[in-house]
């Protein structure tokens, strides 16, 4: 391994297949410290009392018996918390229920005790008097004119963006681009269908865990498995009414996040308990709790009407998107807005009209599960493309190729697309998969079919800072607020800095995820880390390199442009004998300036222009970058049981520039596997607002046995606006998976399924309808 790394440093680190040297060893040996592993002297066990009702008024809470229990050091209710509202988009939520509860599992009280047994007994002693209220459990019920309101004063809540909201609708968005009636008049075929997807758990193995401590000055430190430490710090400062410099958040190792560890959950409760008890407090959710109260993917109902001409050109899309966002707005306005854009973005559709509703219901809150809004929109769009192709007698590959977006085209909201490689992914996937090949029918009585789907994803930008310190011995230390979620961001950071400073990746150490010691970073969200944080890292490394080369130019008596950093040396280009060791330069600079060589970098990606006349009450009309992909799949269906087996899976995705190909392959594999679970089995089942399958026995996720071999194709269509031309890859492979499988099932059986999951039961029932 050592020689391979040295070789990569000499040849160029960017683009090399580098293993997980930064965090792999700690994780496979059990040394990594996750949220539940953080230890404190005299740490108290925190536990939370949660609502048993989906909707009720809090008549009274009596904590006296719990407070009197020996070993209990603190008990809190809403009376102990600042009267502050918070939320990702709309400030509609308190950190602990005040006056009413809106879903089963909402925090009502919390205790801190000397051990878990005492804390559990204290919860049992708390008496809560509820007055049950009428509840709504589906968006259609919530949209009725006589529906009970979850938030009677919702219109008065502060919102970070202007939203059209009323009743139980927290966002009513619209997009209009072109003249839909004219497009349908030009269509030879018009179809309309409704697609449904359920709530889905984020599927991480590590439940939420947080610990908090307060020092003698009243300064708060919180250790939590968060994807966004600076977002958590800002939210804690806001909800606890503490100045930001008194709040420190340290991100621990994360046992899976996928967007589910961004917003606040028990962090403010642990902080309030620690403040009241004057002792460190740790709250560890059980997986049962996590299922009930952590966020889920939005359930959806999308109706899409589409028209196509006889020559295979798409003419018009018209659709309605309804997202069930749970008891609070959360990420609902964003997910709804995002789904509307994605619904019409992979292809050139001249006439579009979409309407979207994010609807409040008495269920757990919903968040930004990997590619929020993407799978829902892709199921509708890509199934529709196949249905249209069949109606006009054209291969679905040809329809997609004829209508594929190109560079310079725009999204439905008028955002211009750069470096579009959809056609390249289509052709690459078709060549690898051999799309023209006829499917061989097996002799075992099972049915085989093939399917395909394309996907588009727009990544987030947000701010990122980075600092690179070059030490006296020539090694480098990187400081970044981005956390390592398991996606490999720290090894990518070492590659970027090593590339610019002429080092090997083993010469670069990364310090990350601590708001006290690292620059600001928005967090591991929206597939942004390599794009945005990577840009900041590159700037910081280039800044440090400039200072090194200026000193070297003086020592070597040559021009700055004639020098390069390579192999831990500063060399005169073309004259390798004229060189000085990097450590000599950095030592000189450190002594000369009384401190190490420091490079600073920052990145805020500019949003491309968009057409404000095309939308209303839409939160995401523009994204700093978009990328495309194509997936093809062959399936085998057992008509006797409805069981579906994937025989082959090919995924071609544009990543702009592959910083670390092995890491990109891992991201594609992980994204596809996550979507396979939602495709075949994952579904949160509710009855009257109560979750019926809150465990991994009844909530089935794919294991290694069910996961097929995934063939990956990396396309590199560089985006000139980003460092090295990179585009994000964490979320883009998720959306196409489900429709590709649904299309393959139809190709095999003739059964078109419009609702998830594609479980054996649902497939079997669909086959019975076809047989009739």
Per the listing, tokens 């725009």 go with 410
Confidence (pLDDT) at 7: 26
- Find all residues with CB under 8 Å of 187, minimum gap 6, and list them: 307, 308, 309, 315, 316
Residue 723 covered by a domain? yes
Segment 273-287 shows an average pLDDT of 98
Rg (the chain; Cα; Å): 27
Give the chain's count of helices (H) and strands (E): 19, 31
The tokens for 128 are: 């809560």
Q: How far apart are CA 460 and CA 728, in angstroms?
A: 9
Percent of the chain with pLDDT over 70: 99
Going by C-alpha positions, the residue among 607, 631, 624 that lies closest to residue 422 is: 631
Residue that finishes a domain, picked among 604, 637, 662? 604
Domain count, the chain: 3
Average pLDDT, the chain: 96
pTM for the model: 0.96
C-beta separation of 352 from 180 below 8 A: yes
In three state form, how does the secondary structure of 161-209 look?
A: CCCCCECCEEEEEEEEECCHHHHHHCCCEEEEEEEEECCEECCCCCCCE
| Residue 546 binned pLDDT confidence (cut-offs 50, 70, 90) | very high
The tokens for 613 are: 């006349």
Residue 150 covered by a domain? no
Q: Is residue 273's pLDDT more than 70?
A: yes
Q: How far apart are CA 560 and CA 325, in angstroms?
A: 57
Q: Is residue 11's pLDDT more than 60?
A: no
C-beta separation of 94 from 100 below 8 A: no
Confidence (pLDDT) at 411: 97
The tokens for 232 are: 């958590």
Confidence (pLDDT) at 5: 25
Residues 216, 321, single domain; the answer is no
Segment 531-552 shows an average pLDDT of 97
Q: Is residue 10's pLDDT more than 60?
A: no
Residue 169 covered by a domain? no
Q: How far apart are CA 391 and CA 557, in angstroms?
A: 74
- Find all residues with CB under 8 Å of 212, minimum gap 6, and list them: 220, 221, 222, 223, 267, 270, 271, 273, 274, 280, 281
Residues 590, 676, single domain; the answer is no
The tokens for 672 are: 């596809």
Confidence (pLDDT) at 199: 98
Identify the three-state secondary structure at position 13. Answer: coil
The tokens for 646 are: 């994937």
> What is the DSSP code (8-state) at residue 612?
G
Residues 51, 73, single domain; the answer is yes
Q: Note the pLDDT tens digit of each residue in 194-252.
A: 999 999 999 999 999 999 999 999 999 999 999 999 999 999 999 999 999 999 999 99
| Residue 129 binned pLDDT confidence (cut-offs 50, 70, 90) | very high
Q: Is residue 507's pLDDT more than 50?
A: yes
CA diameter of the chain: 88
Q: How far apart are CA 645 and CA 739, in angstroms?
A: 15
Residue that finishes a domain, picked among 556, 574, 604? 604
Confidence (pLDDT) at 763: 98
Burial (Cβ within 10 Å: 0-12, 13-18, ≥19) of residue 755: middle
Residues 514, 534, single domain; the answer is yes
Segment 477-499 shows an average pLDDT of 96
- Find all residues with CB under 8 Å of 438, minimum gap 6, and list them: none
Residues 541, 449, single domain; the answer is no
- Find all residues with CB under 8 Å of 210, minimum gap 6, and list them: 35, 222, 223, 224, 225, 265, 266, 267, 270, 282, 283
Q: Note the pLDDT tens digit of each residue in 745-754.
A: 999 999 999 9
Residues 617, 715, single domain; the answer is yes
Residue 359 covered by a domain? yes
- Find all residues with CB under 8 Å of 469, minimum gap 6, and list them: 476, 477, 478, 479, 544, 596, 597, 598, 599
Residues 645, 666, single domain; the answer is yes
Percent of the chain with pLDDT over 90: 95
Q: Is residue 134's pLDDT more than 50?
A: yes
CATH number, position 102: 3.90.1170.50
Residues 401, 426, single domain; the answer is yes
CATH number, position 325: 3.30.365.10
Residue 194 covered by a domain? no
> What is the DSSP code (8-state) at residue 269?
H
Residue 596 covered by a domain? yes
Q: Note the pLDDT tens digit of each residue in 673-728.
A: 999 999 999 999 999 999 999 999 999 999 999 899 999 999 999 999 999 999 99
Confidence (pLDDT) at 605: 87
Residues 454, 528, single domain; the answer is no
The tokens for 487 are: 């996606």
Residues 703, 664, single domain; the answer is yes
Segment 343-363 shows an average pLDDT of 97
Residues 365, 244, single domain; the answer is no
| Residues spanned by the domain of 313 | 299-406+416-460+609-771
Task: Give phi and psi for 451, each to the nearest 5.
Answer: -150, 165
Which stretches does DSSP call E strand in 367-507? 447-459, 463-470, 476-480
Confidence (pLDDT) at 740: 98
Confidence (pLDDT) at 673: 97
Residues 621, 753, single domain; the answer is yes
Residue 613 covered by a domain? yes
Segment 42-51 shows an average pLDDT of 98
Residue that finishes a domain, picked among 556, 589, 604? 604
Residue 622 covered by a domain? yes
CA 679 to each of CA 204, 322, 433, 731, 735: distance values in angstroms, whole numbers, following the listed order? 17, 19, 21, 16, 11
């Amino acid at each position: 391994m050592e020689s391979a790394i040295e070789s990569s440093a000499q040849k160029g680190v960017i683009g090399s297949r580098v293993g997980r040297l930064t965090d792999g060893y700690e994780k496979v040996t059990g040394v990594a410290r996750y949220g539940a592993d953080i230890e404190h002297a005299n740490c108290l066990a925190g536990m939370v009392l949660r609502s048993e009702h989906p909707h009720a008024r809090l008549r009274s809470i009596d904590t006296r018996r719990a407070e009197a229990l020996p070993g209990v050091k603190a008990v809190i209710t809403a009376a102990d918390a600042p009267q502050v509202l918070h939320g990702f988009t709309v400030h509609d939520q308190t950190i602990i229920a005040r006056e009413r509860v809106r879903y089963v599992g909402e925090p009502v009280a919390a205790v801190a005790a000397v051990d878990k047994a005492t804390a559990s007994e204290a919860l049992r002693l708390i008496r809560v008097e509820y007055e049950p209220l009428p509840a709504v459990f589906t968006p259609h019920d919530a949209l009725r004119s006589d529906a009970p309101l979850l938030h009677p004063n919702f219109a008065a809540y502060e919102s970070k963006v202007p939203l059209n909201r009323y009743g139980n609708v927290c966002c009513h968005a619209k997009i209009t681009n072109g003249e839909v009636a004219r497009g349908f008049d030009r269509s030879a075929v018009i179809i309309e269908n409704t697609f449904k997807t359920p709530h889905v758990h984020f599927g991480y193995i590590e439940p939420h865990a947080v610990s908090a401590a307060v020092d003698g000055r009243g300064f708060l430190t919180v250790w939590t498995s968060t994807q966004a430490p600076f977002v958590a710090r800002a939210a804690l400062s806001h909800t606890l009414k503490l100045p930001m410099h008194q709040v420190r958040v340290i991100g621990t190792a994360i046992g899976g996040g996928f967007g589910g560890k961004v917003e606040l959950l028990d962090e403010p409760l642990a902080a309030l308990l620690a403040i009241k008890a004057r002792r460190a407090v740790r709250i560890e959710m059980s997986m049962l709790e996590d299922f009930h109260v952590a966020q889920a993917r939005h359930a959806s109902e999308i109706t899409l009407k589409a028209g196509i001409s006889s020559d295979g050109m798409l003419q018009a899309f018209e659709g309605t998107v309804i997202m069930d966002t749970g008891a609070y707005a959360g990420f609902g306005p964003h997910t709804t807005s995002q789904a509307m854009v994605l619904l019409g973005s992979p292809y050139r559709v001249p006439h579009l009209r979409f309407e979207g509703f994010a609807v409040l219901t008495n269920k757990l809150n919903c968040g930004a599960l990997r590619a929020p809004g993407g799978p829902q929109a892709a199921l509708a769009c890509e199934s529709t493309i196949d249905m249209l192709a069949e109606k006009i007698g054209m291969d679905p590959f040809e329809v997609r190729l004829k209508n594929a977006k190109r560079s310079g085209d725009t999204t439905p909201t008028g955002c211009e697309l750069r470096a579009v490689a959809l056609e390249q992914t289509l052709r690459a996937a078709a060549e690898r998969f051999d799309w023209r090949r006829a499917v061989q029918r097996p002799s075992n009585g099972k049915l085989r079919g093939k399917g395909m789907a394309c996907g588009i994803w727009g990544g987030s930008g947000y701010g990122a800072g980075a600092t690179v310190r070059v030490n006296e011995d020539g090694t480098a230390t990187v400081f970044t607020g981005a956390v390592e979620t398991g996606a490999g961001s720290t090894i990518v950071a070492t590659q970027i800095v090593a590339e610019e400073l002429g080092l090997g990746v083993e010469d670069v150490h990364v310090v990350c995820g601590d708001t006290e010691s690292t620059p600001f970073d928005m967090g591991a969200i929206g597939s942004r880390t390599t794009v945005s944080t990577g840009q900041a890292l590159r700037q910081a490394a280039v800044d440090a390199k400039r200072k090194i080369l200026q000193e070297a130019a003086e020592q070597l008596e040559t021009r700055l442009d004639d020098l390069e950093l390579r192999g831990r040396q500063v060399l005169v280009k073309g004259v390798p004998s004229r060189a000085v060791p990097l450590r000599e330069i950095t030592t000189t600079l450190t002594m000369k300036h009384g401190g190490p060589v420091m490079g600073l970098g920052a990145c805020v990606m500019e949003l491309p222009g968009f057409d404000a006349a095309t939308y209303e009450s839409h939160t995401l009309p523009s994204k700093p970058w978009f990328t495309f992909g194509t997936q093809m799949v062959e399936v085998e269906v057992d008509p006797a049981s409805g069981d579906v087996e994937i025989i082959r899976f090919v995924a071609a995705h544009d990543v702009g520039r592959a910083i670390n190909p092995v890491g990109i392959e891992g991201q594609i594999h992980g994204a596809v596997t996550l979507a396979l679970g939602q495709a075949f089995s994952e579904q949160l089942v509710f009855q009257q607002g109560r979750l019926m399958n809150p465990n991994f026995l009844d909530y089935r996720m794919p294991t290694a046995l069910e996961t097929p071999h995934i063939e990956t194709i990396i396309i590199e269509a560089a985006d000139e606006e980003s460092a090295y031309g990179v585009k994000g890859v964490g979320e883009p492979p998720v959306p196409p998976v489900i429709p590709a499988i649904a299309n393959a099932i139809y190709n095999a059986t003739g059964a078109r399924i419009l609702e998830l999951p594609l479980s054996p039961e649902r497939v079997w029932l669909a086959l019975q309808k076809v047989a009739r």
